[in-house]
Structure formats: structure tokens, C-alpha cells
Amino acid sequence: MIKIEVSPILAKNIVATGSRYIDSKVLYYGDKNFVTFETYKRVPYVKIGDEKVMLITKGVEYRPDLVSFDYYGFSDVWWKILEANGMKDIYDFKAGVTIILPGRF
């Protein structure tokens, strides 16, 4: 059996500010040779009224990271866009689909 234990490393010190793992526990995996994160658990998005609406075009189809970069100035919150729209992965991010862009997180 593979040993897994909680590390004293703080995720916020090793991931980008917009990472979905920023509040996760960092785990040692195996003989402390590998580091991983707790599994991310999706949370329902609650609209707060400052969302924008966008139509996905062919140029950004399957690329929520590009939309994140264009809208927020960094690509790290692409996963939040998917989460806010109830999408499970990038293959749901298709041209012709209207999505909301959260104003803040």
C-alpha cells in the first residue's frame, strides 16, 4: 500500500494565486519523494450580480485559459469559468455556447 501523509508545506507557497489548490492540504505521496494535493471538490457557483456574458467563439473553443487571460489578465482561473458554468471539462467549452464570466471569486 502507498503511504500518504500530510506535509507541513502550505499550498499557497507553491501554487499560483488563482489555483484551485490554494487552500488544499499538501500531501506526501510514497516515501516523501512526491508531493500532491488533496482532491479538489467542486463547489456550486452562486451568482453575485457582477457577472459578464460571453459567447464562446471558434478561436477560444476548448481554451478557457485564453478567455481567462483575456478577461482577467491571467490564465490561472480557467477552472473557475468552467465551474461557474457547470462544465465538467474543457470539452464542454464549445463554440456557440453562451457562458457567464464571474466578476470576482
Does the pLDDT of residue 35 top 80, yes or no? no
Higher pLDDT, 82 or 38: 82
In one letter, which amino acid is 40?
A: Y
SS3 21: coil
Same domain for 60 and 87, yes or no, is: yes
In one letter, which amino acid is 53?
A: V
CA distance 27 to 8: 9
Q: Which among 47, 57, 69 has a CA at the least distance from the CA of 93? A: 57
For residue 42, tell me if it sits in a domain: no
Q: Which among 101, 105, 62, 103 has a CA at the least distance from the CA of 85? A: 101
The CB density around residue 35, as the number of other CB atoms within 10 Å, is 14
For residue 82, tell me if it sits in a domain: yes
Q: Which domain holds residue 25?
A: 4-37
pLDDT > 90 in the chain, percent: 46
Same domain for 97 and 66, yes or no, is: yes
Tally of domains within the chain: 2
Q: What is the pLDDT of residues 47-98, one digit of tens each?
A: 889 999 999 999 999 999 999 999 999 898 999 999 999 998 899 999 999 9
Same domain for 59 and 93, yes or no, is: yes
For residue 77, tell me if it sits in a domain: yes
Same domain for 30 and 57, yes or no, is: no
Query: Rounded to two decimals, what is the model's pTM?
Result: 0.70
For residue 46, tell me if it sits in a domain: no
For residue 44, tell me if it sits in a domain: no
For residue 47, tell me if it sits in a domain: no
Same domain for 56 and 28, yes or no, is: no
Same domain for 33 and 56, yes or no, is: no
